[in-house]
Chain A
Amino acid sequence: MAAGFKTVEPLEYYRRFLKENCRPDGRELGEFRTTTVNIGSISTADGSALVKLGNTTVICGIKAEFAAPPTDAPDKGYVVPNVDLPPLCSSRFRSGPPGEEAQVASQFIADIIQKEDLCISPGKLSWVLYCDIICLDYDGNILDACTFALLAALKNVQLPEVTINEETALAEVNLKKKSYLNIRTHPVATSFAVFDDTLLIVDPTGEEEHLATGTLTVVMDEEGKLCCLHKPGGSGLTGAKLQDCMSRAVTRHKEVKKLMDEVIKSMKPK
């Protein structure tokens, strides 16, 4: 009976739940789905992480290569993220060149990640980190999962020591000595969906995103500074509603940071 109603009137079905301040999967309006993270699973990559946010599964692999530093910033390297949404993850994506959703997600990630200390020799040689983020299962809230996966993978990256030989001017790589990256900011994304122009729910699933009238993503770092406030259109929001979102984003940051520290600690003895 309920399944029939859900198919015919999905929005009304959702409204019935929202009136009772909960959602069909039993969560509160401000509750996230169960987050699990697994790092270092891809041995051929320099760093990797797998993040599951409920059913949404995203895997990130990082490969490091050499490149000449950018001319306008000779003491920095490159971080090149690429988000791939293959037909495997959802029926809405077709195979072929990246669709709009994948491109928007790639641009979003590129805007958040700061260029870390990736320089080997200023003006001559630096690291470039190619980050491939692939979605294995799409059930909404892809941006949060991608950001978290990228951050966890960056924490897992181990770069070998590189010295420039004075005589030959070639780089010598010492694969025995590896060191972790020095990551200064930890951006954590929190996504919201706006329903009927008034109600805000956290961590929308695929169906909720489809029924929502707007979405909002807040990216915060540990000092409470905002890295990004991404609201791609949709219903208008007042300043007060934004404040609620900020406070929820702060608590989410703490949860994610705790989870990541636990995982890193359990990995360290290797």
Chain B
Amino acid sequence: MEGVMQTDAKMRTESGAESSPRAPGCSLRHFACEQNLLSRPDGSASFLQGDTSVLAGVYGPAEVKVSKEIFNKATLEVILRPKIGLPGVAEKSRERLIRNTCEAVVLGALHPRTSITVVLQVVSDAGSLLACCLNAACMALVDAGVPMRALFCGVTCALDSEGTLVLDPTAKQEKEARAILTFALDSVERKLLMSTTKGLYSDAELQQCLAAAQAASQHVFRFYRESLQRRYSKS
């Protein structure tokens, strides 16, 4: 089943509930997702957010080295390859974040003493890279048929010097921003699975970003559902 389909998703979400004179209507960029495009991995997905594009491949559940095996769950491994150069410390840090997010969601207890490997390749980076990686990883895990207790999605927020909230920032917006916050939210209760931030911001701004991210995640999950429905309903 070669489910090659692209779904347009231009969404609009309002920023937090405060009535201060800030620019309303933070919109997410155009999304597109393609599944099952690689023949070797058990599951693969390519996720596009504006100009940022990440290709993910999932191998698993597969054989695991005895030194790495865990007796009662699957061992999850994430490899992130940057577009240019060799993977460095920043990639290791991101791999750890993505791996821990996946571990919280994947039902590893169903496949003990196996390994599930997620390989991510950055195809182009135009802002919100970590969120795009998370989305691609989730879609690839679904394509591979790995049992999960929930889906997850990544959302990036940028706060500029005046305190305006921008969702899904471009590379230019990220550079000029005072703070960049990336969240991973789960689909069942919109709880915060993973968070990583850079820059200074206040507690109130954090709550505002979190609320905006939760609203945006709803659109992302609807997009997931629609794209999967379209893929599996070939009549």
Interface residue ranges, A against B (CB under 8 Å): 100, 103-104, 106-108, 111, 185, 213-214, 221, 224-239, 242-243, 246
CA of A94 to CA of B171, assembled, Å = 38
Question: Do B96 and A104 have beta carbons less than 8 Å apart?
Answer: yes
B93 cross-chain contacts in A, Cβ below 8 A: 103-104, 107-108
Residue from B97, B200, B207 in contact with A221 in the complex, judged by beta carbons closer than 8 Å: B200
A242 cross-chain contacts in B, Cβ below 8 A: 192, 206, 210
Question: Do A233 and B90 have beta carbons less than 8 Å apart?
Answer: no
Whether B184 is near chain A, meaning CB under 8 Å from some CB there, is yes
Q: Which of B41-49, B50-58, B100-108, B221-229 forms part of the interface with chain A?
A: B100-108
A232 cross-chain contacts in B, Cβ below 8 A: 96-97, 100-101, 194, 196
Question: Do B207 and A231 have beta carbons less than 8 Å apart?
Answer: no
Interface contact tally, CB-CB below 8 A: 92
A227 cross-chain contacts in B, Cβ below 8 A: 199-200
CA of A231 to CA of B196, assembled, Å = 6
CA of A231 to CA of B92, assembled, Å = 15
Question: Do B198 and A111 have beta carbons less than 8 Å apart?
Answer: yes
Residue from B100, B189, B206 in contact with A226 in the complex, judged by beta carbons closer than 8 Å: B206
Q: A226-B201, A233-B103 are in contact. Are A104 and B196 (CB under 8 A)?
A: no
CA of A104 to CA of B96, assembled, Å = 8
Question: Do A233 and B97 have beta carbons less than 8 Å apart?
Answer: yes
Q: Which of chain B's residues 48-104 have a Cβ closer than 8 Å to chain A? A: 89-90, 92-93, 95-104
B235 cross-chain contacts in A, Cβ below 8 A: none
Whether B202 is near chain A, meaning CB under 8 Å from some CB there, is yes
A237 cross-chain contacts in B, Cβ below 8 A: 191-192
Q: Which of chain B's residues 179-205 have a Cβ closer than 8 Å to chain A? A: 181, 184, 186, 189, 191-203
Closest B residue by C-beta to A110: B89
Question: Do A225 and B97 have beta carbons less than 8 Å apart?
Answer: no
From residue A225, how far is it (CB to closest CB) to chain B in Å?
Answer: 5
